[in-house]
Structure 1
């Protein structure tokens, strides 16, 4: 049987796609900002923090990096209510993305910190700064400059990985595609359009992050 392509329904469902795109971008932006902050905190604790604190970020990083994201998502959404912590689909999706990105960005930031010349640490200490001040004012910015491309790539991975949050009824772009194909029975067309949108979003996000990197670190343009 010959399949007849039909995209005539798109005009009727474009608001659904727009809502899905907006929620995907919202999750990506908030999840990336908070996840990177968590990663920076973990990287500091692991490299510059007191010895008693270091096992905590190590355990967190190993747990998250060695378990599937979808299992983390299901644990937060379906498991935490058993402990009395009930979250909506959007709240659970955002928390899962922050927790997941925090672990991966922690290792990226740690690599940038470890590449910092020892003399910079000593120079900060000689100015009377404590360890946290040295980290903030002397180490962190050059480290972020070195790892910006890696962080940018991880942010794109987070955006693409957010597609699984539709499994807990978070109304992202994949949820929109699932909803539309269930109403129109045009699975090929619905997922073809959503695939194209994800591709365009990923390319656009890469250029946006490169531009942000060039503004933040003008001495070394990030490509």
Structure 2
């Protein structure tokens, strides 16, 4: 007897999948925004701070980048209550996303900062610009233009990684898919549907980030040309 696709039971529970999709969008949106800001801030502190600051930032980056996201999530949700810090599943998931993405964003932005030639910094200082002005206008802006494609890819990967949050019972898209599968027993159909949703989300996010990059780094500007050189 041949297998027959039956999507009707899955579509009948589409409300649950849409609830999971909405939570996924919330986790990804807030996590990407806060994680990117954290990465930029730490990269700036690393560039402007002293030796102790650099050591602390590097230790954080290495710790996060060399441990699994799932372990970080479990430590925040199950481990932190032992020291008196209790977070809901959604709060723990969002904290883990921000901390994880912040470390990767820090390293990506750091690479962009180090690509700025020393002569450009000296030229800014010779124009009586402050150290902060030089860092903001001469170093940070070109650095972000150079690494925008890499940052965009990391944002998409982080959005897809929200599926891991189902391990602590966050009812995002993957968790809701498991619920629907247990109710309908249509595993193949459920996960085909969810795969298509994640694919659509990834493509849409890439398009949005490309559009944002075009606004931040216009094609006719020097920053746009830097971004174009990296993208080729």
TM range (shorter): over 0.9
What residue number does 1:124 align with? 124
Cα offset, 1:83, TM superposition:
0.8
What residue number does 1:141 align with? 141
What residue number does 2:184 align with? 184
- 1:39-73 superposed Cα distances (whole Å, 9 cap, x missing partner): 11221222332122111001001100110000000
Alignment of 1:207-218 (within 5 A): 207-218=207-218
Question: Is residue 115 of structure 1 aligned with residue 105 of structure 2?
Answer: no
Q: Which runs of no fewer than 5 residues in structure 2 stay unpaired?
A: none
Distance 1:159 1:88 in 2: 20
Distance 1:120 1:187 in 2: 57
Cα offset, 1:145, TM superposition:
0.7
Distance 1:145 1:9 in 2: 47
Q: Secondary structure at the match of 1:54?
A: helix
Using the size of structure 2 for normalisation, the TM-score is 0.91
Cα offset, 1:127, TM superposition:
3.6
Cα offset, 1:177, TM superposition:
0.4
Alignment of 1:1-223 (within 5 A): 2-218=2-218, 219=221, 220=224
CA RMSD of aligned residues (A): 1.5
Q: Residue 10 of structure 2 contacts residue 180 of structure 2 at CA under 8 Å; is this kept in 1?
A: no
Distance 1:32 1:111 in 2: 19
- 1:73-97 superposed Cα distances (whole Å, 9 cap, x missing partner): 0000000111111111111111000
Q: Residue 35 of structure 2 contacts residue 98 of structure 2 at CA under 8 Å; is this kept in 1?
A: yes
Q: Residue 10 of structure 2 contacts residue 186 of structure 2 at CA under 8 Å; is this kept in 1?
A: no
Distance 2:24 2:40 in 1: 24
Q: Residue 10 of structure 2 contacts residue 189 of structure 2 at CA under 8 Å; is this kept in 1?
A: no
Cα offset, 1:170, TM superposition:
1.1
Distance 1:20 1:176 in 2: 6
Q: Secondary structure at the match of 2:13?
A: helix
Q: Residue 156 of structure 2 contacts residue 205 of structure 2 at CA under 8 Å; is this kept in 1?
A: yes
Cα offset, 1:122, TM superposition:
1.7
Q: Residue 65 of structure 2 contacts residue 103 of structure 2 at CA under 8 Å; is this kept in 1?
A: yes
